[in-house]
A and B are shown apart, each in its own frame.
Chain A
Amino acid sequence: MTNDLNRRGFLVATGALAGGLAFIGPRGLRAQEGGTLRFALSAYPPSFDAWASGGTAAGTVKLLMHRGLLSYGADGLLRGELAESWEVDDAGAWVFKLRDATWHDGTPVTAEDIAWNVTEAQKPDSAAFLQGQLAMITSVETPDDKTVRMITTEPLGVLPGWFAHYNMPMIKKDEPRDTMIGAGPFRMGEQDRGVSISLTANPDYYKEGLPKLAGIEAIVYADENLRVAALEAGDVDLIEYVPWQSMAGIDGNSDLRLDAVDGPFMYLTFNASRAPFDNPLVRRAVAHAIKREDIVAAAFFDRGAALAHLPIAEKSEFFNPEFKDAWSYDPEKAQALLAEAGYPDGFACTMLSTAQYGMHQSTAEVCQAYLSMVGINVQLDLPEWSSRVQKGNEGSYDLAVMGTTANNNDPDGLSNILDGTLPNSFVRSHALQTPEISEAFARGRAAFDTEERKEIYRELERVAIDTVPIVGLAWRSQGYAMKNSVSGFTNMPGQLTFYSGITLEETMLG
């Protein structure tokens, strides 16, 4: 056998080298120019059910395919979509006037379609995300093809907000709930379940000149680090759920842009069906025992902010500055409250969180450390998420760490986590009745005057600060990152961050 390079060997080696270079070259997988945006989603939608909650990724895909009566603009204000105007008539009913719009199959959107959506989604077994709210609508009238009149038992100021939610899009009458026929800016193309979804621009979209993109390729990257790597490598143009540990790196990369807002929040819930957390003094003691800045640092790499009151953002017109530090870190006060409640030496309890999500576990660990300093010895229970949800629903815990967003920036969006008259759920404290708060929410919904509503929610927060149905811990930054060539995409303000997919109709490449 010889090691000398002969002619045949040379040709083979040269060919292999040329082929190899072509193979590893970047072509084909780089982001495409010419109008198709490659968007890295964090998950594949568990279903395309228009009215059910399917998580953030499902919400984004719905915002591409469908449109509701209303939506929120990038400024966070309500705006018309299928409805061009909406108002309360003299009888206290909401009247929506529809614009000229068509479904993806070319048929017009009619008042009858809209009425069908409401009556179907409000059925008790519909499992629609807003079923409970829609049940307050006693009847839906369609005086003509372009007018929908919704009658409620009492006037409801918050009703338009329901129809701006991405879990209440309108679909064509008699279509299945997971229909791909919507009235949104993009039409569903090919789907590879669990992998990717292709959408193409709807040429008959009712907003002239929109969408600006020819299409969107939504690709699932479940691993947060790979999502960032894919953006940095140029495989995708836009990513959601930027991990906090990567935000500084993206900020420092001149080719990329980070758009982050403080919207979702972390909080503690209590099991009030038994001692000691049936006692509001103990709950207040917990609220004062935790130094929230350490949670922001440990769980969110300083990408967030301390939250020592109800989760109403400082930018909101409903923010109450007098409660800004109502639950501030004050271990001496916490110990005094424990003594007053009859626990001068503290007690032992369990705290439910999950090891599946690092932010939930880190938050629990910081809380555990601070609570031990005031004499509350916490044993952590960190099952995977599915078990955590079940234990939360059953009330198999004393204290629990939770993270979520409100439905929208209106304080009524907090009723889901604060209203004790609602059925037991892992998102709110277990068996904790708060009649004053429930009543305040009801009054807030019925009020139309902003000043009157501000007063109602100020009173609600005052009661909450004393009775502590939850303990606010931290705002967490929610980020999208994109190439500099992406323009027009906006991370919506505050609690609306998960509505940001709606701005993809205005997004451009290059």
Chain B
Amino acid sequence: MLRYIAWRSAVALFLVWVVVTAVFLLLHLIPGDPAELLLSQGSIAADPAAVAALRERMGLNEPVWAQYLDHLRGVLTGDLGSSFRDGAPVIEQIAQRLPRTLELIVAAAVIATGIGVPLGTYAAMNANSVADGVISFFASAALSTPVFVVGTVVILIFAQQLQIMPAGGFIPFSEDPLGHLQLLLLPACTVALSLLAVITRMSRASVLEVLQRDYVRTARAKGLSRSRILRRHVVRNALIPVITILGLEMGTLIGGTVLVEFVFNWPGLSGYLVSAVDARDYPEVVGIVMTVSILFVFLNLLVDILNAALDPRISLVRR
């Protein structure tokens, strides 16, 4: 098991390096000069002399490979550089933004799992019934509705029409816990909706499959109660693929909550990435992408370990 984890970690690190290198090179290939953009805010004609001076100060006149090596050196010493825009240390900004995105994703995952697993299990236990059909229909609808549509409709109903929820924004938990949770609720539910659909469908399929297993039939034959069979034998085994999917989906969401963060003005990592790309703020973009890729591979690793914990045969097979 330990060897397996060590090997997976090494592969993960290599992947992170590949991603960071690719992003660094791609950023320098696409048009758009950070110095020029910074001095052209508000559609202003930037003075070429000022642009040249700023480029020099930003270190952009160095060859790309020299900038790359410099950046790698920084990464190895835990320094992700400073923003081109205002000199704010990138690592501090990521440390501030990342927990907000993780909070959003975890809240969405809790909502989605809390509702999706029971719903999927219920649908499987009542397969081909009207309830099953209704659940499947809504799951498909939720899956195919874009998050920005859901977000916009939710704001329209709860903030603009009913005026019972704020339209969006952010208040630190330490400042106002209730206000913070209020502001978290709508974006978390929006992210949760598509996740809920995936988990419901996955749970249903998985439970249906487990219900056909011999050990379930044996448990029934032994006279175990329905709820005990469900808890002990069905759901626990059916959860393995659900957790795998949940982990992958959460990994994708770390860099993929852009639209929800934008629509609800939730100042997380995704929105930060978009503004950094817009401004061609190279240190910020590379720092954020690196963080996201590390988290993504880490989540994958975690999913594997969790699966192994739920079903000890998994690590044995892979070892």
Q: Interface 1/0s, chain A 81-120, versus B by CB < 8 A?
A: 0000000000000000000000000000000000000000
A147 at the binding interface (Cβ < 8 Å): no
In the complex, 27 of the A-B residue pairs with CB atoms within 8 angstroms, ordered by the A residue number, are A29-B166, A29-B179, A46-B38, A46-B86, A52-B41, A55-B41, A125-B50, A127-B53, A131-B47, A193-B88, A221-B169, A221-B265, A222-B271, A225-B152, A226-B265, A229-B167, A230-B265, A232-B160, A233-B163, A233-B165, A234-B163, A235-B159, A386-B37, A386-B279, A387-B32, A427-B44, A428-B45
**What would 7 more interface pairs be, CB under 8 Å, given A127-B50, A235-B168?**
A24-B164, A24-B182, A28-B178, A29-B179, A46-B38, A127-B47, A425-B45
Q: Quote the shortest CB–CB distance from B126 to chain A (angstroms).
A: 15
Q: Quote the shortest CB–CB distance from A192 to chain B (angstroms).
A: 7
Number of interface residues of A (CB under 8 A): 66
For the complex, give the distance between the alpha carbons of A441 and B73 in Å: 52
Interface residues of A in 364-393 (CB under 8 A from B): 383-387, 389-391, 393
Contact present for B43 and A195 (CB under 8 Å):
no
For the complex, give the distance between the alpha carbons of A339 and B103 in Å: 65
Q: Which residue of chain B has its CB nearest to the CB of A29? A: B166
Q: Which residue of chain A has its CB nearest to the CB of B48? A: A423
Contact present for A389 and B262 (CB under 8 Å):
no
Q: Which residue of chain B has its CB nearest to the CB of A220? A: B265
Closest 5 CB pairs of A and B: A386-B32, A425-B45, A127-B50, A233-B159, A404-B43
For the complex, give the distance between the alpha carbons of A395 and B137 in Å: 54
A25 at the binding interface (Cβ < 8 Å): yes
For the complex, give the distance between the alpha carbons of A193 and B42 in Å: 19
Interface residues of A in 20-35 (CB under 8 A from B): 22-26, 28-29
Q: Quote the shortest CB–CB distance from A484 to chain B (angstroms).
A: 16
For the complex, give the distance between the alpha carbons of A219 and B264 in Å: 13
Known pairs A194-B272, A221-B168; A389 contacts B42 (CB<8 A): no
Contact present for B164 and A25 (CB under 8 Å):
yes
Interface residues of B in 152-189 (CB under 8 A from A): 152, 155-156, 159-160, 163-172, 176, 178-179, 181-183, 185
Contact present for B152 and A53 (CB under 8 Å):
no
Contact present for A28 and B275 (CB under 8 Å):
no
Contact present for B159 and A229 (CB under 8 Å):
yes
Contact present for B263 and A423 (CB under 8 Å):
no
Residues of B whose CB lies within 8 Å of any CB of A are: 30-33, 36-50, 53-54, 85-86, 88, 93, 96-97, 152, 155-156, 159-160, 163-172, 176, 178-179, 181-183, 185, 227, 262-265, 267, 271-272, 275, 278-280
For the complex, give the distance between the alpha carbons of A1 and B275 in Å: 53
A247 at the binding interface (Cβ < 8 Å): no
Report chain B residues within 8 Å CB of A384: 32, 278
Residues of A whose CB lies within 8 Å of any CB of B are: 1, 22-26, 28-29, 46-48, 52-56, 58-59, 124-127, 129, 131-132, 178, 192-196, 219-223, 225-226, 229-230, 232-235, 383-387, 389-391, 393, 402-404, 416-417, 422-428, 498
Contact present for A46 and B85 (CB under 8 Å):
yes
Q: Quote the shortest CB–CB distance from B158 to chain A (angstroms).
A: 8
Contact present for B167 and A54 (CB under 8 Å):
no
For the complex, give the distance between the alpha carbons of A192 and B100 in Å: 13
Task: Say which residue of A55, A127, A195 sits within 8 Å of B170 (CB atoms).
Answer: A195
Report chain B residues within 8 Å CB of A48: 86
Q: Quote the shortest CB–CB distance from B48 to chain A (angstroms).
A: 5
Report chain B residues within 8 Å CB of A233: 159-160, 163, 165-167
Q: Quote the shortest CB–CB distance from A416 to chain B (angstroms).
A: 6
Contact present for A127 and B37 (CB under 8 Å):
no
Contact present for B43 and A402 (CB under 8 Å):
yes
For the complex, give the distance between the alpha carbons of A225 and B95 in Å: 29
For the complex, give the distance between the alpha carbons of A39 and B131 in Å: 48
Report chain A residues within 8 Å CB of B183: 29
Contact present for B265 and A132 (CB under 8 Å):
no
Contact present for B41 and A53 (CB under 8 Å):
yes
Contact present for B168 and A230 (CB under 8 Å):
yes
Contact present for B41 and A393 (CB under 8 Å):
no
Q: Which residue of chain B has its CB nearest to the CB of A404? A: B43
For the complex, give the distance between the alpha carbons of A483 and B53 in Å: 45
For the complex, give the distance between the alpha carbons of A364 and B37 in Å: 22
Task: Say which residue of A47, A125, A129, A230 sits within 8 Å of B44 (CB atoms).
Answer: A129
For the complex, give the distance between the alpha carbons of A192 and B267 in Å: 10
In this complex, which of B46, B88, B163 has the most chain A Cβ atoms within 10 angstroms of its Cβ?
Answer: B46
Q: Quote the shortest CB–CB distance from B160 to chain A (angstroms).
A: 5
Contact present for B44 and A53 (CB under 8 Å):
yes
Task: Say which residue of B30, B165, B171, B263 sits within 8 Å of A226 (CB atoms).
Answer: B263
